[in-house]
């Protein structure tokens, strides 16, 4: 599943390409995603212009010129493809965890602009598209989403109060979108490595110095991943067809049995399953 940095890269890319473009036609081939696409969706979009594309957590938000919105989440296997008339619609410019060419199957939604053809593909159909008819509807949709690590609300006091008397482990909390939004399994592993915190440590046992590290490195890791264009796991590409490179910075993720990269640490990277998620950590410096 794409995490905040990858969704941010696609947001930037799409905003650069289809911002201010008018929607000429909408074609829905399959409405049965995680939530059923309403029958009014085509009419809702037709002849509207994209004022901008923004992102909240792992969601893409398309702002229309009549002050309405539609929200897109890519789920486990959703991919966004943008192809242009210049190459006769043969190749895509962007894809999440897929091939650089447009897939033949599972192209559920197509949105046509004058110069581009936007396609949502999702074999497993865990992604979805939602309509928001006003800013109030948009705010209501995100009411249970926690602050992102970059948000001013993600403070030491906020984290400390949220953790107070809680027994759940810290890895579980970093994946809890009600606590902090945008972090997925890959970046949770990397954040805890930088913090030198054992993923199974209960949050009620964290010291204030460790909470400060969680705040700092949550922001640090995601910011660096965005700068590197995201992590290219299974062929993630941006709108220009370029790979993200943050996977070259991984300290623990997918490094099972390899040496810890910290200076003067002689530990090994171990793997265990926490809440059915692969968890990588150093058996020496993460305590």
Please give the class, per CATH, of domain 4-141. alpha beta
State residue 155's pLDDT score: 98
Chain CA centroid to CA 200, Å: 24
Per-residue pLDDT of the chain (287 residues; tens, 9 = 90+): 678 888 888 888 888 889 999 999 999 999 999 999 999 999 999 999 999 999 999 999 999 999 999 999 999 888 888 888 776 656 665 654 455 678 889 999 999 999 889 999 999 999 999 999 999 999 999 999 999 999 999 999 999 999 999 999 999 999 999 999 999 999 999 999 999 999 999 999 999 999 999 999 999 999 888 877 554 444 444 444 445 445 557 899 989 999 999 989 999 999 999 978 999 999 999 99
Query: Boundaries of CATH 1.10.8.50 in the chain?
Result: 156-282
Q: Locate 159 and state its tokens.
A: 């984290």
Check: CB of residue 18 under 8 Å from CB of residue 118: yes
Query: Boundaries of CATH 3.20.190.10 in the chain?
Result: 4-141
Catalytically active residues, by annotation: 2-3, 58, 277
Q: Is 153 exposed, middle or buried (0-12, 13-18, 19+ CB in 10 A)?
A: exposed
Q: E strands along 15-77, which residues?
A: 25-28, 50-56, 59-64, 69-73
pTM: 0.88
State residue 91's pLDDT score: 61
Summary count for the chain: helices (H), strands (E): 7, 10
DSSP state of 214: H
Check: CB of residue 123 under 8 Å from CB of residue 105: yes
Helix or strand or coil: residue 137? helix
> Percentages helix, strand, coil for the chain, rounded to the nearest 5?
30, 25, 45
Is CATH 1.10.8.50 correct for 156-282? yes
What is the rounded CA–CA span in Å between residue 91 and residue 204?
A: 51
């Amino acid at each position: 599943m794409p995490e905040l940095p990858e969704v941010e890269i696609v947001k930037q890319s799409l905003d650069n390409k289809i911002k201010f473009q008018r929607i000429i036609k909408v074609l829905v081939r399959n409405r049965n995603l995680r939530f059923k696409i309403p029958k009014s969706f085509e009419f809702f979009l037709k002849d509207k212009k994209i004022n901008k594309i923004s992102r909240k957590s792992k969601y893409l938000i398309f702002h229309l010129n009549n002050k309405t919105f539609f929200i897109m989440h890519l789920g486990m296997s959703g991919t966004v493809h943008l192809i242009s008339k210049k190459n006769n619609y043969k190749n895509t410019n962007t894809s999440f965890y897929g091939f650089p060419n447009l897939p033949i199957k599972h192209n559920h939604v197509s949105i046509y602009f004058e110069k581009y053809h936007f396609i949502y593909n999702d074999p497993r159909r865990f992604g979805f598209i939602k309509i928001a008819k006003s800013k109030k509807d948009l705010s209501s949709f995100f009411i249970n989403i926690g602050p992102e690590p970059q948000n001013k609300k993600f403070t030491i006091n906020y984290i400390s109060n949220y953790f107070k008397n809680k027994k759940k482990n810290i890895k579980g909390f970093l994946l809890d979108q009600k606590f902090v939004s945008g972090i997925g399994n890959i970046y949770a592993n990397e954040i805890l490595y930088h913090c030198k915190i054992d993923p199974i440590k209960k949050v009620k046992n964290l010291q204030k110095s460790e909470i400060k590290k969680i705040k700092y490195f949550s922001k640090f890791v995601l910011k660096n991943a965005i700068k590197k264009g995201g992590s290219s796991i299974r062929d993630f590409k941006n709108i220009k067809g370029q790979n993200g490179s943050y996977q070259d910075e991984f300290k623990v993720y997918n490094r099972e049995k390899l040496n810890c990269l910290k200076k003067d640490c002689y530990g090994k990277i171990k793997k265990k399953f926490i809440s059915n998620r692969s968890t990588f950590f150093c058996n020496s410096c993460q305590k």
